[in-house]
Amino acid sequence: MKRGKLLFISFSLLVSSFNTLAAQSNGEGSQFLLNSLFVIAALVFFAIVIQVSDNLMAIEAKRTGADKDGNHFGLMPRFYELVGSKLPSYLKNERVIISKKGFDIPLEGQALKEKLTVSVLRFAVNPTNFKGISPIPKVVVEVGDTVKAGDAIFFDKVQPDLIFSSPVSGEIVEIKRGEKRAINEIVILADKTQEFKSFDKPNLGTISREDLVKTLASSGLMTFFLQRPFNTLPNLTVVPRDIFVSTFDSAPLAPDLAFALKGQETAFQAGIDVLNKLTSGKVYLGLDGRGETDAASIFTGVTGAEKYYFRGKHPIGNVGVQIHHIKPISPNDIIWTINPQDVVILGKFMLEGKVVQSRMLAITGANLNKTGYLNLPLGASVSDLLQSEQLAGEYRIISGDVLSGTQISKNGFVGFYDDQVTVVEEGNNFELFGWLLPLDMRPSVSKTFPSALLGGVASAANTNNRGEKRAFVVTGEYDNLLPMDILPQQLFKAIVVNDIEKMENLGIHELVEEDVALCEFGCTSKQPLQTILRNGLDVVKAEG
């Protein structure tokens, strides 16, 4: 179809340029009319030729049986292909939310769907992973202590009941401190055979909500929840309006959560039951409706949750975007969100009475020899994880995805909330006319790059800033990258000038950093939008 379009455009350009010449030399009306008639006749002729050959092709396709699966072999799109997107059959009777905004960044280095075997010995709990925690939490272990998985490691002085527990059993080998004696990392050397602290299995039928929260908090499980607005640790004294779970991640190179959770259906259901006990409202599941076949089949049997399918491009998988479309947050609401892999951790606690803090971790990146998934306790050491990789040159290791992940050092540890490690090349080299005539492929929202014509060819990412920071110049580009009814540019300007009332009115409480990360990626002026948003959130939060 593309070639046909191209032919048509070039032909009409040819005709019109010929026409220009003709009209210039004569300028006579009759000549112009004659030319136009000639052009129309030629167009009609071409249209007939194309139509006939198109029909011949369709007939041939039918004869050989190539169009069996409903594939359409014509050159011209059929009418229904032009108007509206045809929903695949599995979405027909479901609640579907479709968004045309957003962008899927095509990157190389997607994790292969196979399980890797790497022995990881060291794990760490990192207090700085938790937003809203005081800088120096109270550590209850010392170097040399041995802990079981589920034992308390530290607690927040603001909420002493909120325990942060150990993901593995082993020996505390190091407590790293940063500036002003802030605690950066508590490193644990894991035992070969894991021991779990045993808890009494709570009975959901009889236990009160308060007791349940207490049990979960004492075992460290409440730390898996994030509270909105502001995306902080949950306040144990409030009852959230609703709890939202997005069962898919649309970020670049993100893990396939349906693959990661295969076989965990029972634990997932048990976890959903816990969520229902914790909220006064409902539990909402955002399901993956992007594909032509149902990718969310393992979640469709879940009971006790409102299910919505989401169809569109990144950031459609972000839970914040889904909340906005299902039931937006108003400034006085409190909402909790939780990662589906952590719902399984909750469920396992209910079923087995132990805290199994482990997730499927995706190892991604174009420069890695081997990408894939592995099931590991949280906070795994990156140097252990990537021990078999020989990375020549300079690379950046990111805990999380390339948009909103955190850069960690070669000896760092995977972040508490992250289920992905991405390795990208550092782009610290000069590029000759790189802004004008780039020779290698790079991801872009803009159609000025040839890759846009080729239809989103994946490229290996690097971390070059691709230009210098400028004032806000282009308007409307964030609107196309944020599938929410929010005026992003006006909001950012309100944050920059510290206009708190306007920030609240424009809906800052509906956003967290990951929601605007794509806008930051596509920003022509290279503005640090996630940082700006976090500053705004901090100001609004401090204002109360």
Partner 1 sequence: MLLRRKDNILKVARKDMKNSLLSFFQKIEPDKKKSPFLHTLYDGFFTFAFTPNHVTKGGVHVRDGMDLKRLMFHVVIAMQLCYLFGTYNIGQQHFSALGMYEGFLEGFHLKIFYGLVQILPLFVVANVVGLGIEFFYAYKKGHGIEEGFLVSGALIPLVMPPALPLWILAISVAFAVIIGKEAFGGTGMNVLNIALLSRVFIFFAYPTYISGDDCWVAGLEKVDGVWTASYNGFVTGVLNPAFESFGWATYQNGLAVVDGYSGATPLSLAAKGGWEGVLTRFTPEQMFWGNIPGSIGETHKLFIVLGAGFLIYLGIASWRIMVSMVFGLVITGLLFNMWNATPAMDVPWYYHFSMGSFLFAMAFMATDPVTASATNRGKLIYGFLIGTIGLVIRVLNPAYPEGWMLAVLFMNVFAPLIDHFVVESHIAKRKSRLSKLANS
Residue number, 341 or 462, with CB nearest to partner 1: 462
Which one, 266 or 446, has the nearer CB to partner 1? 446
Q: Which of 375, 168, 164 is nearest to 260 (CA)?
A: 375
Separation between Cα atoms, residue 174 and residue 157, nearest integer Å = 22
Q: Are 294 and 82 in contact (CB under 8 A)?
A: no
Q: Least distance (Å) from partner 1 to the CB of residue 410?
A: 16
Distance CA 406, CA 129 (A): 10
337 or 530: CB nearest partner 1 = 530
Give the closest residue to 475 by CA, choosing from 436, 505, 519: 519
Q: Minimum CB separation from partner 1 for residue 41, in Å? A: 20
295/517 with CB nearer partner 1: 517
Report the distance separating Cα 199 and Cα 412, nearest Å.
31
Distance CA(488)–CA(468), nearest Å, equals: 21
Give CA–CA dist 118/111, Å, rounded: 15
Nearer to partner 1, 151 or 513 (CB): 513
**Residue 400 C-beta: closest distance to partner 1, Å:** 9
Q: Least CB distance from residue 195 to partner 1, whole Å?
A: 38
Nearer to partner 1, 183 or 329 (CB): 329
Is the bond leading into 229 cis (omega within 30 degrees of zero)?
yes
> What tokens does 324 get?
């906005």
Structure tokens at 419: 């289920």
Least Cβ distance, residue 267 to partner 1 (angstroms):
33
Extract the runs of DSSP E, i.e. beta strands, from 252-357.
283-288, 306-311, 335-337
Closest contact distance (angstroms) between CB of 26 and partner 1 is 9
Q: How far is the CB of 15 from partner 1 (least distance, A)?
A: 12
What is the distance between the alpha carbons of residues 430 and 370, in angstroms, rounded to a whole number? 29
**Residue 141: count of CB within 10 angstroms of its CB:** 19
Token code pair at residue 459:
């490229």
Q: Which is nearer to partner 1, 24 or 237 (CB)?
A: 24
For partner 1, the closer of residues 32 and 199 by Cβ is 32
Q: How far is the CB of 432 from partner 1 (least distance, A)?
A: 4
Query: Which of residues 53 and 446 has its CB atom nearest to partner 1 in the complex?
Result: 446
Q: Is the dihedral of CA 57, 451, 447, 489 positive or negative?
A: positive
Specify the DSSP element, H or E, that contains 137. none
Query: How far is the CA of 266 from the CAs of 122, 257, 287, 343, 465, in angstroms?
Result: 30, 16, 18, 11, 45
In the bound state with partner 1, the residue whose beta carbon lies nearer, of 187 and 366, is 366
Supply the minimum distance, in Å, between the C-beta of residue 322 and partner 1: 15
Six-digit token pair at 83?
A: 């108007």
Concatenated DSSP letters of 12-35 = HHHHHHHHHHHHHHH--HHHHHHH
Q: How far is the CB of 538 from partner 1 (least distance, A)?
A: 15
